[in-house]
């Protein structure tokens, strides 16, 4: 039996300052409904360092792209 509040890790396309990257995001869901979305911090930190911007801005951009993808597709990117 699957747990009622599991996490799936998927990848989404994110654009910041005209540069694109595929980033890992963990989605939390309960009974088929997504309740949380969390970017992988280490990836965000690496990209923020490359771009020369605060990691918080990268995390927000990833979260925004993730929620946008969920709303557009009405599901977790890559299936569930």
79 domain residue, yes or no: no
Tell me which residue range forms the domain holding 21.
Answer: 5-73
Per-residue pLDDT of the chain (80 residues; tens, 9 = 90+): 455 555 678 899 999 999 999 999 998 888 878 889 999 999 999 999 999 999 999 999 999 999 998 887 665 555 54
CB neighbour list of residue 18: distance below 8 Å, 6 or more residues apart: none
78 domain residue, yes or no: no
57 domain residue, yes or no: yes
User: pTM of the predicted model, to two decimals?
Assistant: 0.80
What is the C-alpha to C-alpha distance for residues 69 and 12, in angstroms, rounded to an integer? Answer: 8
The CATH number of residue 32's host domain is 3.10.20.300
DSSP summary character for residue 53: S
**Structural domains of the chain, count:** 1
CB 22 within 8 A of CB 69: no
């Amino acid at each position: 039996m699957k747990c009622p509040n599991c996490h799936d890790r998927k990848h989404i396309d994110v654009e910041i300052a005209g540069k694109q990257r595929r980033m890992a995001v963990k989605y939390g869901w309960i009974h088929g409904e997504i309740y949380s979305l969390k970017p992988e911090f280490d990836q965000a930190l690496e990209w923020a360092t490359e771009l020369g911007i605060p990691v918080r801005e990268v995390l927000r951009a990833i979260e925004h792209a993730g929620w946008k993808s969920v709303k557009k597709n009405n599901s977790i990117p890559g299936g569930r």
